[in-house]
Copies of this chain bind each other. A is one copy, B any other.
Amino acid sequence: MRKRPELNCETCPGRMKSIFCGLKGDELNQLNSNKNVNVYKKGQNLFLEGNPAYGLFCLHSGKVKVTKSDSQGRETIVKLVQKGGVIGHRSLFSKSPYAASATVIEDGMICFVSKETVNSIIQQSPSLALEIIDRLSQEMGASEEKLASMARKNVRERFAEMLLILKENFGKSLEGNETLLNIKLTREEMGQIVGAAPENIIRLVTEFKSLGLIRVEKKDIVLVDVPGIEEEASLGV
């Protein structure tokens, strides 16, 4: 039998970037002693669309995609989450069932915190409430931004924009102004992010390569000419 993994919120590498960054003392202890750690493998689900929300998930490590699928089975990736990220808070706070599914795309340790624990900590820590409002507002802004892009940009522009957003969240600087996108996605998944068929994404990858905008190493994408990509995304002037 596998040993139960041990993690301490106090030393969690992601916590300072999460909604729990402001916690200390008692509240932090309460979080720490009530969380539940689990090891997840690629392909496993944290929850499925329609499930009731009993709590939220905090990523200590690994990566997770959050997807919605419609009646025809068409899937869309709504967001990607990595260490320090929290999943399921939206449904928890709006007291509604999960409106999307969460699937692990890279192995990692993920903590579960029950609704009761979260509520109890919020009661004691008004600063947490404000922190949550702040985060939700930012997420809301990002979501509206994406919505607008979807509405008026074409696939090519959206693809370029996706590269830049992935850079913000998963970018790792290399030498020579290059940036490695530290997340492995299939062409199909990229298509589910920008709303396009995988064949289309493949052609765009090929084209961006030949334009010298990106490089592909094995499964990884490296951004070579960021200003050029920004131009493709029709940002700035």
Interface residues of A (CB under 8 A from B): 68, 70-72, 74-76, 78, 89-96, 99-100, 122, 126, 129-130, 132-134, 136-141, 143-148, 150-153, 192-195, 234-237
| Chain B minimum-CB-distance residue to A72 | B234
Within the assembled complex, what's the spacing in Å between the Cα atoms of A113 and B29?
A: 38
Q: Report yes or no: A71 in contact with B140, Cβ–Cβ below 8 A.
A: no
> Which residue, A75, A133, A151, has most C-beta atoms of chain B within 10 A?
A151
Count of identical protomers in the assembly: 2
A192 CB to nearest B CB, Å: 7
Report chain B residues within 8 Å CB of A94. Answer: 134, 137-138, 140-141
Report chain B residues within 8 Å CB of A137. Answer: 89-94, 136
Report chain B residues within 8 Å CB of A237. Answer: 71
Within the assembled complex, what's the spacing in Å between the Cα atoms of A235 and B68?
A: 13
Q: Report yes or no: B144 in contact with A70, Cβ–Cβ below 8 A.
A: no
A69 CB to nearest B CB, Å: 9
Q: List 11 A-B contacts (CB under 8 A).
A: A68-B145, A70-B152, A76-B147, A76-B148, A76-B152, A90-B137, A90-B140, A91-B137, A94-B134, A99-B145, A129-B129
Q: Report yes or no: A93 in contact with B133, Cβ–Cβ below 8 A.
A: yes
A68 CB to nearest B CB, Å: 4
Report chain B residues within 8 Å CB of A152. Answer: 70, 74-76, 195
| Chain B minimum-CB-distance residue to A235 | B71
Q: Report yes or no: B71 in contact with A141, Cβ–Cβ below 8 A.
A: no
Within the assembled complex, what's the spacing in Å between the Cα atoms of A144 and B65?
A: 14
Report chain B residues within 8 Å CB of A148. Answer: 68, 70, 76, 78
User: Contacts A70-B152, A150-B195, A152-B70 known; A133 to B133 CB distance under 8 Å?
Assistant: yes
A110 CB to nearest B CB, Å: 21
| Chain B minimum-CB-distance residue to A93 | B137
A18 CB to nearest B CB, Å: 16
